[in-house]
Amino acid sequence: MHQVKNPNIRPLTFVGLRLLFGRPANEQYNDLYRARHSVFWGAVLGIGISLVPLYIVLFVSNGMIQGITDRYLETKTSHLQMSLPFSFDATQRNALTQDVSRMPGIISTSFEVDGIGLAASQNGSTSAQIRGLDGAVLQDKGFNRFISVDEGQMYPNRQNEVVLGRYLARKLEVKTGDSVTLITLRSNDSTNYLPKLAVFRVAGIISSGYRELDANWFIIQSDAALRLLNSATAYAFMGIKISKPYGSDLDRIASEVSRAGQKYGLTSEQGARVRTWREIEKSLFQSFSSTRSVLVLIMVIAIIVAALNLASALTTFVIEHRAEIAIIRSFGVSRTQAALIFLLGGTATGAIGCIAGSLAGIAISIFINQIISGMQAILGFASRLLSADRQTIQLLNPDYYLEHIPITMDWRFVVLILLSGIALSAIASILPAMKSTSIAPAELIRHE
Amino acid sequence: MSEPIIFCENLTKTFSSSAEVLRILDNADFVLEKGKACTILGPSGSGKSTFLAILGSLERFDSGTVKIAGYDLGQAQEKMLHIFRREVIGFVFQFHFLLNDFTALENVAIPAYMAGVPRAESWDRAKKLLDLVGLNNRATHFPSQLSGGERQRVAIARALINQPSVVLADEPTGNLDPASASAVKELLKSLPEIARTTLVLVTHDPELAGIGDSSYLLKGGHFECIR
Ligand SMILES: Nc1ncnc2c1ncn2[C@@H]1O[C@H](COP(=O)(O)OP(=O)(O)O)[C@@H](O)[C@H]1O
Ligand SMILES: [Mg+2]
């Protein structure tokens, strides 16, 4: 007598998978047979399909968030901001800039004065987000990477020139060469505000690829902004870019920069604070990640439903195949082995579904931009057939989505999703497997 | 007299329903020597199948002693019984109970494969057994492609795969038409010799009743030796 100490998995999966899926390539199989096994292919399909949206949501939202974050960091927020008093004079500012740019880990600095105003053209008026930039942005790699120039140039070469965000230009219905009037408020004391008018010539129209970010950009030279705005209505700061904005030494570099500022008498009591992009854009990214969490939760529920479907298919199978289970038990298969047949069979079923779903989900994610533009083209064509108006169809509203979604494969997600999908299938198989152990081989003897 | 491979003493088995207690086996004694074959006859409902189920450890009993090939079934733990079934017993039922999704060859090989015999060896043994039952040309056929008699012969081959000391057959021709039955009968007649096993055969068939070394009639819960 010998006991099988290590129940060999291979015979169990051999029997389990064949029982569940049958043999596809046999012409002798009748329709009833096929119907019986199609339940399993249905369960596989269910699990596979439930994974696809999860991948898409994860990769697309990650890509979106990453893409949007990069654009904020490179074209607007910078990695660190050191706020400067409005009165801080230019020579001191240049000295400080020199000091900070020489610090290790820092790749560039630029001076910016921000404020708000009202922009008006012959065709309309709208609020404008004034960005007084210094010429350093032209050398900034990140800025150049994400800013695309629709017309004209990227930076105003003269004090009376402006570069507009694409949607601001559209609202004002202006082109390069047109004039735009900017109305700002100045105050000498904090109670009386006086409007101030200035006329700018449009030198260029640009886009960051994310409308929410650049919709109201009114880019002028920083000196022009200093003249138009004052401390009550504007915010002046040094934008600092470091080599690893997502790295862990962001805070350390921030405090070093802060220390450098102290040499120039800049303290946080004065309002000269160094903040990291994480602090500045905190609410934005919190809302991104909570939206993503809700979506992922919905997707996870879909996967659980698919697992329940697998559990019910397996249970039905066990009930319908009592005799086969009893016969397997009668020739010396233990309860544990019988249960393992279904546990492994169910898990393998889930694994097949998970792998197929992962392949499909990853493929769709990688080609999501092409798929979206293809769908837009088809829908656009259909709508032109159906109606006369020549409106282009946009599936993703560019106000809230990037025009091009940067997809980066994160294999940790793939592994995580695969493993949890397979684990869930295993859990779903537990109950049917236990049910199979209650089938006694004695049933055979009194069959019919 | 050599060592008995099956030894039952004072074996009692009852089924109780709400109305009455059925004494299927009532202090029955039954002994069979190793390598011998015997047949069990008896009217329908007399408890023949129940007795075979007890011998095969598929069914438990109320009292008495049942010892088979060194296993004391009255003492054995439930969770160890599958080892007894795997090592000692080969079962042939009235219905073939082949697994529809597996070929004849696979059906025969599976009990060995599941018992831990390597795949190649299991398939090898199964081929030899299909040869033995005269179905080597049907190895790749599925049960649905076989006749009733052929299925039962595959089932007999399957019962032999783990080289059981005892083969228990419960009316193996009971479901077959006479034409299909004849090959199965021939096989059963030669079984003790070719498979070198002990055979307990329950049958109604007069032609089969005479095979083996002895016959018993189960009646009133006792065995009566009639040959
Ligand atoms: N699980 C059970 N519960 C109650 N009575 C049973 C059960 N199994 C079998 N019986 C009864 O036991 C008797 C013997 O059955 P069985 O062993 O199948 O007889 P045989 O095989 O000789 O025809 C029959 O009367 C049957 O109704
Ligand atoms: Mg019977």
Using the Cβ of A3 and the Cβ atoms of chain B, whether some distance falls under 8 Å is answered with yes
Does any ligand 1 atom lie closer than 6 A to the CB of residue B203?
no
Residue A57 has a pLDDT of: 84
Lowest mean pLDDT among A80-94, A214-228, B127-141, B198-212: A80-94
pLDDT at A1 > cutoff 50: no
Please write the tens of the pLDDT for every residue from A230-268: 877 889 999 999 998 988 888 899 988 888 888 887 776
pLDDT at A24 > cutoff 70: no
Does any ligand 1 atom lie closer than 6 A to the CB of residue B44?
yes
Lowest mean pLDDT among A97-111, A224-238, A374-388: A374-388
Residue B193 has a pLDDT of: 85
Structure confidence at residue A26 as a pLDDT band (50, 70, 90): low
Task: Kindly report the nearest CA distance between residue A26 and chain B, in angstroms.
Answer: 9
* Interface touch B99/A334, C-beta < 8 Å: no
- Residues around ligand 2, an ion, CB closer than 5 A: B 49
Pick the CATH number of B34-59+76-213 from 3.40.640.10, 3.30.360.10, 3.30.460.10, 3.40.50.300: 3.40.50.300
DSSP secondary structure string, B109-131?
Answer: HHHHHHTT--HHHHHHHHHHHHH
A381 vs A190, more confident = A381
Residue A43 has a pLDDT of: 83
For residue A321, the chain B residue with the least C-alpha distance is B99
Mean pLDDT, range A8-28, rounded to an integer: 76
Residue A392 has a pLDDT of: 64
In chain A, residues with a C-beta closer than 8 Å to the C-beta of B144 are 28, 30
Does any ligand 1 atom lie closer than 6 A to the CB of residue B2?
no
Mean pLDDT, range A149-170, rounded to an integer: 94
Question: Which of A324, A327, A328 to mutate against chain B (most B CBs within 10 Å)?
Answer: A327
Q: Dihedral, CA atoms, A422, A425, A426, A432, nearest 10 degrees? A: -160
pLDDT at A28 > cutoff 80: no
* Interface touch B79/A444, C-beta < 8 Å: no
In chain B, residues with a C-beta closer than 8 Å to the C-beta of A34 are none
Strands of the sheet containing B198-202, edge to edge, are B89-92, B166-170, B198-202, B37-41, B214-219, B222-225
pLDDT at A296 > cutoff 50: yes
Please write the tens of the pLDDT for every residue from A378-425: 888 887 777 766 566 666 666 666 777 888 778 888 998 899 999 999
Distance A443 CA to ligand 2 centre (A): 12
Residue A87 has a pLDDT of: 78
Residue B192 has a pLDDT of: 84
Please write the tens of the pLDDT for every residue from B10-30: 999 999 888 889 999 999 999
Ligand nearest to C-alpha B40: 1
pLDDT at A31 > cutoff 80: no
**3-class secondary-structure state, position B207:** helix
Using CB atoms, pick whichever of B82, B114, B159 lies closest to residue A11.
B114
pLDDT at B210 > cutoff 60: yes
Q: For chain A, what percent of residues have pLDDT higher than 90? A: 33
DSSP secondary structure string, A144-201?
Answer: HHH-EEEEE-SS--STTEEEEEHHHHHHHT--TT-EEEEEEEEESSSS-EEEEEEEEE
DSSP secondary structure string, A67-116?
Answer: HHHHHHIIIII-SEEEEE-TT--HHHHHHHHHHHHTSTTEEEEEEEEEEE
Lowest mean pLDDT among A109-113, A237-241, A367-371: A367-371
Ordered by start, the domain boundaries in chain B are 34-59+76-213
| Residue located via tokens 């092409």 | A370
Mean pLDDT, range A37-60, rounded to an integer: 84
Using CB atoms, pick whichever of A334, A442, A445 lies closest to residue B82.
A334
For residue B50, the chain A residue with the least C-alpha distance is A445
Identify the burial level of A356 via C-beta atoms within 10 angstroms of its C-beta, where 0-12 means exposed, 13-18 middle and 19 or more buried.
middle
* Interface touch A1/B110, C-beta < 8 Å: no
pLDDT at A79 > cutoff 90: yes
pLDDT at A2 > cutoff 50: no
Using CB atoms and an 8 Å cut-off, which of residues 161-220 of chain B contact chain A? 162, 170
Which two three-digit tokens encode residue B154?
Answer: 């595959």
* Interface touch B94/A15, C-beta < 8 Å: no
Residue A398 has a pLDDT of: 65
Lowest mean pLDDT among A103-117, A337-351, A371-385, B52-66: A371-385
Residue B87 has a pLDDT of: 93
Please write the tens of the pLDDT for every residue from B137-196: 999 999 989 999 999 999 999 999 999 999 999 999 988 988 889 999 999 998 888 888
In chain B, residues with a C-beta closer than 8 Å to the C-beta of A447 are 93-95, 97
User: Which atom from ligand 1 is nearest to the alpha carbon of B170?
Assistant: 21
Task: Kindly report the nearest CA distance between residue B134 and chain A, in angstroms.
Answer: 22
Mean pLDDT, range A88-94, rounded to an integer: 86
Residue A5 has a pLDDT of: 46
Distance B213 CA to ligand 2 centre (A): 22
State phi, psi for B140 to the nearest 5 degrees: -90, 5
Using CB atoms and an 8 Å cut-off, which of residues 8-37 of chain A contact chain B? 8, 10-12, 14-15, 18-19, 22-23, 26, 28, 30, 33
Mean pLDDT, range B101-123, rounded to an integer: 94
* Interface touch B91/A330, C-beta < 8 Å: yes
Mean pLDDT, range A335-347, rounded to an integer: 89
Largest CA distance in chain B: 54
Mean pLDDT of chain B: 92
Using CB atoms and an 8 Å cut-off, which of residues 31-70 of chain B contact chain A? 49-50, 52-53, 56, 58-59
Q: What is the pTM of this model?
A: 0.75
Structure confidence at residue A58 as a pLDDT band (50, 70, 90): confident
Using CB atoms and an 8 Å cut-off, which of residues 318-337 of chain A contact chain B? 323-324, 326-335, 337
Report CA torsion sign: B53, B57, B63, B64. positive
Over the range A364-400, which residues count as b (16 or more CB within 10 Å of their CB) and which as e? Answer: bbeebbeebeeeeeeeeeeeeeeeeeeeeeeeeebee
